Amino acid sequence: MAVAGVASGIVSSMPSYHTPRGTRDILPSDHAVWTRVETAARDLARRYGYRELDTPLFEQSAVFERGVGAATDIVEKELFRVSPSRGEEREQWALRPEATAGIVRAYVEHGLQTQPQPIRVSLYGPMFRYDRPQAGRYRQFWQWDVEAIGDPGPAVDAEIIELASRFYATVGLTNVEAKLNSIGDSTCRPGYIVALTEYYRPHASALPETERRRLETNPLRLLDSKDERVIELNHDAPKLWDHLCAACSAHFAAVRVHLDALKVPYRLAPDIVRGLDYYSRTTFEFFRPGAEGQQDALGGGGRYDGLVQLLGGKATPAIGFALGIDRVVSAILDGTDDDAARRDRGEGGPLAVVVGADPAATVERLRVATTLRAAGLAVGTDLAQRKLGRQLEAAVKEGARFAIIVGDELADGVVQLRDLGAASQKPVQLSDLASLLRRKAGGG
């Protein structure tokens, strides 16, 4: 956008800056929802015994290439590779596209396998995928990631799925459904892959380019293809469940027994094969009915019994999930759960704003506000030198419940406390103000 330089009298072109494609600003009007969701995640992690951990936003690229899989879309097409602009570093780095590989790297690097198992951890933060941006798909997005490393299941599989389900209900998304699958392990999956490849092979020439390539690199992915021809073919494709070995079958059945006992609703879905290579046995994704496209998954996860060893540790079973916070927040703001969204928006404002009867008396306003803030209260100030009426209007717009009007009576230690909702006010001793406001904040 070109902007005319009016002040100088010269018409010049100013650059207009904007967020990089696929990224977004979270403005204060929406931020309260983000914060509520984050608080709910952290609180649930604590209640379920998952301790918080953080890893760097970037890692050696090999952590993802090896961990997530070099032939996955996430690594092959979407990895944000970063190279330092100077210095001698020869490492290849990449921004983390997901948290699991980095967490497992940390588990191995810090010898966490010597601590009592399983290690239950939770990570909340931004991830980066250089994907084609579209609704629900961003280049920087947030995940709440939860992992239990060192437990072969099946009970912990159900604990993890129940935890994710509880999170959605807690933030007000009541109609989220888990889709559940088992993709077998290194004993039974290879035989299935052979059967699957043989089934597709005669149709290969009719398949789109991507699916033809996947037939060679990762035929399982054809099962969740969105291509009409492949969907048609998939009706008669061999079913993985018919090929599960006895141990995988027993595991799958036991996960379901635990979920049923916990009354967690789920649907069996053989197409949940996941886009990352590290999975074995249990896999799952979360959707709202009617929004079940690839960009609609509100979260997903599964068991990854081979990853710790793949990244240099001892063979260690593990399971986890990551929930897509951007999509959760959109679902909340979409209006499906209006009440919660409205409540959030109201929650962002300060309890009270200190305003002044004398527009110039900013020192007094700041002094009163500072005292209240030091006493632990959330108090805004209006420091604009404008009429009291305008200051009060602004306080209402900000969502404040009270205005504290500072005037001449301050000399006697008195201010006016105005209830902005009731439009009534009364004099209050400055020495009583903090405790009175604290009572009001507590609903008194």
Q: Which of 359, 379, 361 is nearest to 369 (CA)?
A: 379
Nearer to ligand HAM, 93 or 304 (CB): 304
343, 166 Cβ separation under 8 angstroms: no
Single-letter code of the amino acid located at 295: Q
Nearer to ligand HAM, 145 or 177 (CB): 145
Query: Cβ-count burial of 41 within 10 angstroms (0-12 exposed, 13-18 middle, 19+ buried)?
Result: buried
Residue 127 — φ and ψ, nearest 5°? -125, 165
CB of 65 to ligand HAM, least distance (A): 15
Binding residues among 295-324 for ligand HAM as defined by CB under 6 A: 297-302, 304, 320-322, 324
Applying CB under 6 A, does 118 fall inside the site for ligand HAM?
no
CB atoms within 10 A of CB 84: 10
Nearer to ligand HAM, 139 or 256 (CB): 139
Nearer to ligand HAM, 271 or 408 (CB): 271
| Contact pick of 30, 59, 73, 145 for ligand HAM (by CB under 6 A) | 145
Pairing verdict, β 177-182 and 266-268: parallel
Distance, in Å, from the CA atom of 180 to the CA atom of 272, rounded to the nearest integer, reads 7
* Size of site (CB under 6 A) for ligand HAM: 26
> Residue 90 corresponds to which tokens in the numbers above?
């020869």
Applying CB under 6 A, does 402 fall inside the site for ligand HAM?
no
Applying CB under 6 A, does 69 fall inside the site for ligand HAM?
no
b/e per residue 344-361 (b: at least 16 CB within 10 A): bbeeebbbbbbbbbebeb
Applying CB under 6 A, does 282 fall inside the site for ligand HAM?
no
Question: Of the ranges 10-18, 131-139, 165-173, 383-391, which one interacts with ligand HAM (CB under 6 A)?
Answer: 131-139
| Contact pick of 66, 120, 129, 258 for ligand HAM (by CB under 6 A) | 129
Report helix, strand or coil for 380. strand
| Contact pick of 141, 266, 287, 402 for ligand HAM (by CB under 6 A) | 141
Question: Of the ranges 27-35, 97-105, 163-171, 348-356, which one interacts with ligand HAM (CB under 6 A)?
Answer: 97-105
Q: Which of 150, 137, 145, 141 is nearest to 164 (CA)?
A: 145
Residues in contact with ligand HAM by CB under 6 A are: 98-100, 129, 131, 137-138, 141, 143, 145, 147, 275-276, 297-302, 304, 320-322, 324, 326-327
